[in-house]
Amino acid sequence: MADGLAQLVLGSAWGLLSPVLPCPLEAGWILQRDMLIPGAGGGYSAIAVESPLRRFWLLSDLPEGELSAWTLPSAHDAPRQLDALRLQVPQQVTHQLDGEGLVIDGDQAWVATEGRRSQERPAQLLRVSLVSGALLEAVPLPPLWQPQPQQGLNSNAGPEGLARLNRPGEPLALLMAAERPLLQDPDDQVRLLRWHWPRPNRSRREPPQASEQGALEAPADGPWGLTDLQVLHPQQPGAPLLLTLWRRYREPLQWSNQLRLYRLPEPGEVMKAIHHWDLQQVGLTPENWEGLSLTAPLSPEQPNLLLVSDDNRNPLQTSRLAMLKPHRLASCPQQQP
């Protein structure tokens, strides 16, 4: 998309969000590092950065369900594991945990867990303690997302992405994404779900309510799956943007990865991508990249994006961490304070 057209589509958000994005959008991303994650862990499906604490969390989708905290990497220093927490989810909630999306909220975490269209392994939104790993709440998905004949999430097809929807300082709201179309939907549309609390000051004690938040148009040369997303807010009132991570798998062991930028759709709306970036063109290892998180850069060496890959416990795959920064021309707006 040409720079002028981007300004037209993004409106007032262009100048205020552009420090987070490439400028012009066609300039793409700079791959700072693409490294193996040290240690014996794996199955990493989501990542969440806590920039003020200079750390990030990794969620593993292996059956034991582990959250681990790591130091933020730099251009020269690899991440170092700080802690690991086993998630304690009883069998009456799910026979096998498959955590795919992660949002950190103080000493609690929200986890989107993928389902298998069965009572034994339902898709849910879970709230867990970051102190003990104990399950604090399990919230079922709304009826249209539940398994019924020709309806609901397909098996092993989401929910895959979870992001904080609210602006900093506002009451908590979450945005959930399916990985692939629901069975009742067209095969090029991936639904979004908004979670909010009618009494915002009770978000740590009461279950949230779900409402539809439109859908995103998937890439045409599929099958592509949406694996994670981040919400970008302009510094002035305006519609948020969504930076989304997509993957495609083809036999034998061929992975493709994209970042795609959208406006947040209104309920009932299907939003086309504003722009997309082929991550292999910037040198990213073709892998099962599943997690995406924004950082608040603390130095010129700090990345703006962290990506994590899931090795599927496959000896032909690897658990990797990638650091990306937007490529920006000197004439572009500088980072806002």
- Three-state DSSP string of 2-58: CHHHHHHHHCCHHHHHHHHCCECHHHCEEEEEEEECCCCCCCEEEEEEEHHHCEEEE
Cα 125 from Cα 284, distance rounded (Å): 31
Residue 122 banded pLDDT, cuts 50, 70, 90:
very high
Mean pLDDT across the stretch 280-303?
A: 83
Residue 110 lies in a domain: yes
Highest mean pLDDT pick, 74-78, 162-166, 221-225: 162-166
More confident residue, 10 or 324: 324
Q: What is the CATH number of the domain that holds 215?
A: 2.115.10
Residue 133 lies in a domain: yes
Whether the full predicted model's pTM is greater than 0.85, yes or no, is: yes
Residue 333 lies in a domain: no
Cα 270 from Cα 50, distance rounded (Å): 31
| Structural domains counted in the chain | 1
Cα 285 from Cα 280, distance rounded (Å): 7
Of the candidates 195, 194, 93, the one whose C-alpha atom is nearest the C-alpha of residue 136 is: 93
Cα 89 from Cα 124, distance rounded (Å): 12
**82-93 pLDDT per residue, tens:** 999 999 999 999
pLDDT for residue 16: 44
pLDDT for residue 300: 56
Residue 240 lies in a domain: yes
More confident residue, 282 or 329: 282
Classify burial at 91, counting beta carbons within 10 Å of its beta carbon; exposed 0-12, middle 13-18, buried 19 or more: exposed
Residue 337 banded pLDDT, cuts 50, 70, 90:
very low
Cα 250-231-177 angle, rounded to 5 deg: 45
What residues make up the domain containing 215? Answer: 3-326
pLDDT for residue 7: 52
pLDDT for residue 6: 53
Handedness of CA 29, 317, 114, 55 (dihedral sign): negative
| 20 dihedral zone (left: phi>0; alpha: psi -120 to 50; beta) | alpha
Residue 237 banded pLDDT, cuts 50, 70, 90:
confident
Residue 238 banded pLDDT, cuts 50, 70, 90:
confident
Residue 200 banded pLDDT, cuts 50, 70, 90:
confident
Residue 336 banded pLDDT, cuts 50, 70, 90:
very low
Residues 56 and 73: beta-carbon distance below 8 Å = no
Residue 56 lies in a domain: yes
Residue 287 lies in a domain: yes
pLDDT for residue 27: 92
Q: What is the mean pLDDT of the chain?
A: 89
Mean pLDDT across the stretch 30-52?
A: 92
**44-63 pLDDT per residue, tens:** 999 999 988 889 999 998 88
Statement: residue 304 has pLDDT above 60: yes
**129-163 pLDDT per residue, tens:** 999 999 999 999 999 999 999 999 999 888 999 99
Cα 287 from Cα 249, distance rounded (Å): 9
Residue 64 banded pLDDT, cuts 50, 70, 90:
confident
Beta carbons within 8 Å of 186's beta carbon, 6+ residues apart: none
Of the candidates 140, 165, 144, the one whose C-alpha atom is nearest the C-alpha of residue 153 is: 144
Residue 185 lies in a domain: yes
Mean pLDDT across the stretch 242-256?
A: 95
Statement: residue 301 has pLDDT above 70: no
Mean pLDDT across the stretch 318-322?
A: 96
Residue 201 lies in a domain: yes
